[in-house]
Chains A and B, each alone.
Chain A
Amino acid sequence: MTDSGLVTVSAGWAVVAGAILCSLAVFAIALDTGLTARAQGARGGWTTIAGRFARLLRQRRRTTVAADTMLWRAGGVGMFIGAFFMVAVIPLGQWTLADLDVGVVWLNTIDVLVWALVWLTGWGANSTYSLIGGYRFLAHGLAYELPLMFALVAPAIAAGSLNVGAVAAAQDDDLWFVVWMPVAFLIYLIGVMGFSVWGPFAAAVATDITGGAGTELSAVDRLVFHAGRYLFLAAGAAFSVPLFLGGGAGPWLPDWTWVLIKTLAVLAVLVWSRRKIPLMRPDRFMTIGWTLLLPAIVVQDLVVSVLVVWKG
């Protein structure tokens, strides 16, 4: 659609893209389980993944009285497939599945769908804690979404395009965007943790409300909902590479390798940070989001715009 020097591969390669995304999510789960085990003084831990996976697959589904099953299932299934749509526009080196001219907006649209999906999961169960979890997510969303949107604006302004390949290409032979728009990068990562219901933004599924939106989920429903969170985390990390980290740029190795290496690095930082940053209470984070993050990112956008105009 736009001339960004990318090769659009045939739709069959979507299977490979999906497999890569799943591998990244499994990496995130393994790292998180490993870190948890280490924090408890045990070794390994990551070997339990297959067991937990199998247990959820063969568990018998339980349900609640007067559950809105249709909306409930829609929430969980949507969480699972959303991330696969998100990665469709991320270039792996010079290959991409869809060279969409508005790829950055595509990312934004899918992350907004999470608002609906988590709330539907919380609502559908017809259970108090579950519903509270759904509303906690909306409260977080109201605080992180606008800063995230403005954070996505910064690389797009600098590249003069909403095409993901063009944004990556704009960083060739030039400073990576992370260097001269660090605030946007930071807020982007906050947004990724937000739409993945992860780490400081896991209040919607926190233990103080017995798992929140996921309280009543069981069996395969539980599996797809929580797997979806990891998949979104992986997709968000992968998206930061073309947006801020120079895409496939790097010495010696081929560019697709660099995309994967950078993605793994960002993903590892996101997973690791879960036990370093406290859980954000939605009401407190509302203040942080609107009085700190939003002004900061607007100033960042202004600086980027002025620099772009100044450089001509």
Chain B
Amino acid sequence: MLIGIAFWVLAVIAVATGLAVFVVNSMARATYALAVSFIAVGVQILLLQQNYLGLITILMMVMEMAVMAVYMVMFMGMNPALMPMDMTHGKKTAIATSVGVFVLLAGGALLIPWPQRRGSPPADLTHALGLEIMGEKMLVMAVVGAVMVATIVAGVVLASHRTRYDRFGDDLRHRRVNDAQPGGGKQ
């Protein structure tokens, strides 16, 4: 009963704040409306007794939204991010796509013959879920994780305008860093 109420309250919060993302006129509000939506989803996952996955979802999404605030200033030129603005663009395509996807997913969820539960849930749900999703590919997944990090680092190095050789000299021996802007930002 209590879990049922919690589920519905969280579901309403998740959907309402998700809608708010497109209604509000401030990028900060949109960002954190999305964060609240994700937190509600994270708590839903906690209701499924997937404690680890639920907390990690909240952790990652909040951090992601905070980093989004950094990007807001970094990449948005003359900081329109700091002004009131419309949060939507490409409206017709976006509405058509989202209605289509919603009908597909909701129709699928309603029409599919859901299987009856066989047996009982295992003691450690997160462990079982991990095995179910990855199984014997766990090693591949672990390697892919490292490759992804290496790709991100390489991407940043390639994209960056100035390298450590610009900052510390050709022999990397300059004690004083040669930066136009403290922290090695662009000139």
- Tell me the A residues contacting B by CB distance below 8 Å: 1, 68, 70-71, 74, 100-102, 105-106, 108-109, 112-113, 115-116, 119-120, 123, 131, 134-135, 138, 141-142, 145, 162, 281-284, 286
Shortest C-beta distance, A64 to chain B (Å), equals 14
A105 engages B28 (CB within 8 Å): no
Which residues in window 59-77 of B have CB below 8 A to A?
Answer: 59, 62-63, 65-67, 69-70, 73
Contacts A102-B52, A281-B182 given; does A113 touch B62 at CB 8 Å:
yes
- Flag B66-103 by CB within 8 Å of A: 1 or 0 each: 11011001000000001000000000000000000000
Residue from B52, B56, B70, B184 within 8 A of A135 (CB atoms):
B70
Bound-complex Cα distance A199 to B183 (A): 21
Can you report 13 residue pairs joining A to B where beta carbons are below 8 Å apart? A101-B51, A102-B52, A106-B55, A109-B59, A109-B62, A115-B63, A116-B62, A123-B69, A138-B66, A142-B67, A145-B63, A283-B182, A283-B183
B58 engages A109 (CB within 8 Å): yes
Which residues in window 99-119 of B have CB below 8 A to A?
Answer: none
Chain A residues closer than 8 Å to B59, beta-carbon distance: 105, 108-109, 112
- Flag B29-59 by CB within 8 Å of A: 1 or 0 each: 1001001000000000000000110011011
B28 engages A112 (CB within 8 Å): no
B51 engages A100 (CB within 8 Å): yes
CB nearest to A108 among chain B residues: B59
Bound-complex Cα distance A70 to B17 (A): 14
Chain A residues closer than 8 Å to B184, beta-carbon distance: 283
Contacts A135-B73, A281-B182 given; does A116 touch B29 at CB 8 Å:
no
A286 engages B70 (CB within 8 Å): no
Chain A residues closer than 8 Å to B82, beta-carbon distance: 131
Dominant SS at the B interface?
A: helix
B32 engages A71 (CB within 8 Å): yes
Shortest C-beta distance, A139 to chain B (Å), equals 8
Chain A residues closer than 8 Å to B67, beta-carbon distance: 138, 142
Chain A residues closer than 8 Å to B32, beta-carbon distance: 71, 74, 116, 120
Residue from B55, B65, B73, B182 within 8 A of A105 (CB atoms):
B55
Bound-complex Cα distance A105 to B183 (A): 31
Shortest C-beta distance, A195 to chain B (Å), equals 12
Say if the beta carbon of B178 comes within 8 Å of chain A.
Answer: no
A102 engages B51 (CB within 8 Å): yes
Shortest C-beta distance, B78 to chain A (Å), equals 16
Chain B residues closer than 8 Å to A71, beta-carbon distance: 28-29, 32
Bound-complex Cα distance A112 to B182 (A): 26
Residue from B29, B58, B65, B70 within 8 A of A68 (CB atoms):
B29
B62 engages A112 (CB within 8 Å): yes
A115 engages B56 (CB within 8 Å): no
A68 engages B52 (CB within 8 Å): no
Bound-complex Cα distance A108 to B63 (A): 11
Bound-complex Cα distance A162 to B55 (A): 12
Bound-complex Cα distance A115 to B183 (A): 20
Contacts A115-B62, A115-B66 given; does A68 touch B55 at CB 8 Å:
no
Bound-complex Cα distance A162 to B184 (A): 38
CB nearest to B52 among chain A residues: A102
A105 engages B52 (CB within 8 Å): yes
CB nearest to B36 among chain A residues: A74
Bound-complex Cα distance A281 to B184 (A): 13
Chain B residues closer than 8 Å to A113, beta-carbon distance: 62
Shortest C-beta distance, B86 to chain A (Å), equals 17
A68 engages B73 (CB within 8 Å): no
Bound-complex Cα distance A112 to B26 (A): 23
Chain B residues closer than 8 Å to A162, beta-carbon distance: 52
Bound-complex Cα distance A1 to B50 (A): 12
A102 engages B55 (CB within 8 Å): yes
Nearest first, the 6 A-B pairs at minimum CB distance are A283-B183, A115-B66, A109-B59, A105-B55, A283-B182, A109-B55
Chain B residues closer than 8 Å to A286, beta-carbon distance: 183
Q: Most chain-A CB neighbours within 10 Å: which of B62, B66, B70, B73? A: B66
Which residues in window 134-187 of B have CB below 8 A to A?
Answer: 182-184
Chain B residues closer than 8 Å to A119, beta-carbon distance: 66, 69
Shortest C-beta distance, B152 to chain A (Å), equals 13
Chain A residues closer than 8 Å to B182, beta-carbon distance: 281, 283-284
Bound-complex Cα distance A71 to B31 (A): 11
